Amino acid sequence: MNLNQVTLPVSGMTEACCFYRRLGFTQIVSTPHYARFECPDGGATFSLTLTEGELDNGAVIYFELEDLDERVALLRAQGVEFDQLPEDMPWLWREAVLFDPSGNKVKLYRAGKNRLDPPWRVELGPL
């Protein structure tokens, strides 16, 4: 199996699309109620779905960048606001945190080999 995509709920499609395009993603589907984006590396996609009413999404979406600190500096220079600038975390990742216009939590991070091979890795296969 391979993860195809994650879909985030948004309250404003136009604002959300602009936000993710500003982060560097290519929009490949655009409708009034649904949008899909292609990640610059690796072929993964994610999508947005227009949701009416109050959003209460506890999910966090992570995007890995090799040039995390440089990209965050560039985005800040373009006016993108971060709630946490790049910081080394106890789980051996470096992370920056921001929120999209609908309040979805977005983490830009760099994990390197620790993403798939942390020192505490276990091998528990399917049941």
123 domain-assigned: no
125 domain-assigned: no
Per-residue pLDDT of the chain (127 residues; tens, 9 = 90+): 677 789 999 999 999 999 999 999 999 999 999 999 999 887 899 999 999 888 777 889 999 999 999 999 999 999 999 999 999 999 999 999 999 999 999 999 999 999 999 999 998 888 8
pLDDT at residue 1 in the model: 67
- Structural domains in the chain (count): 1
Q: Strands of 94-99's sheet, edge to edge?
A: 60-64, 105-110, 94-99, 84-88
pTM: 0.90
107 domain-assigned: yes
CATH number for the domain harbouring residue 52: 3.10.180.10
pLDDT at residue 8 in the model: 94
33 domain-assigned: yes
127 domain-assigned: no
Kindly write down the DSSP assignment for every residue of 36-47, as one continuous string. Answer: EEE-SSTT-EEE
Tokens, residue 33: 């109620």
Domain, as residue range, for 57: 7-113
Which residue(s) pair with 114 in the sheet? none
pLDDT at residue 41 in the model: 84
34 domain-assigned: yes
pLDDT at residue 52 in the model: 87
